[in-house]
């Protein structure tokens, strides 16, 4: 089965450090999402891309978060500088959208658990 791959699985860092999370979407999927999951807020949408172009990043704190897709096989989420409130599990998901409809459901990676001390 094709899978979304996220690295690293766990990251512990100190406040103020830069954090980079990576995602390899499923080959052939044209839409990539970044979500953040916490106990209090559940799954929050941070940003998403269609054919590598950013469509919406309104869920991200713009001053410290950035998301990019350097190529079709790699999506990155960076936090600089990191803060303790950024501690959460970050999920990447990919899907195939045609004409605004999801031809395939979103498939999720197993997440990056980030702890900022």
Min. distance of Cβ 82 from another protein in angstroms? 22
Q: CA 51 to CA 86: how far, in whole Å?
A: 27
Residues in CB range of 108: below 8 A, 6 or more apart: 4, 91, 92, 93
Q: CA 51 to CA 67: how far, in whole Å?
A: 14
Residues making contact with another protein (CB under 8 A):
4, 31, 33, 35, 41-43, 45, 48, 50, 55-56, 91, 93, 97, 100-102, 105-111
Task: Please name the residue that has the structure tokens 């950013």.
Answer: 54
The DSSP call for residue 80 is S
- Among residues 12 and 55, whose Cβ is nearest to another protein? 55
Question: Three-class SS of residue 117?
Answer: coil
Q: Can the peptide bond before residue 81 be classed as cis, meaning omega within 30 degrees of 0?
A: yes
- Among residues 74 and 97, whose Cβ is nearest to another protein? 97
Min. distance of Cβ 67 from another protein in angstroms? 14
- Among residues 2 and 15, whose Cβ is nearest to another protein? 2
Min. distance of Cβ 98 from another protein in angstroms? 12
Min. distance of Cβ 41 from another protein in angstroms? 8
């Amino acid at each position: 089965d094709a899978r979304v791959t996220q690295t690293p699985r766990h990251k512990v860092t100190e406040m103020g450090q830069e954090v980079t999370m990576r995602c390899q979407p499923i080959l052939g999927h044209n839409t990539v999402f970044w979500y953040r999951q916490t106990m209090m807020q559940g799954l929050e949408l941070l940003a998403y891309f269609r054919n590598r172009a950013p469509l919406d990043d309104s869920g991200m704190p713009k001053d410290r978060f950035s998301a990019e897709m350097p190529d079709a096989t790699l999506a990155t989420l960076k936090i600089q500088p990191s803060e303790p409130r950024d501690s959460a599990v970050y999920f990447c998901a990919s899907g195939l959208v045609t004409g605004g409809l999801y031809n395939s459901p979103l498939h999720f990676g197993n997440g990056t658990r980030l702890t900022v001390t």
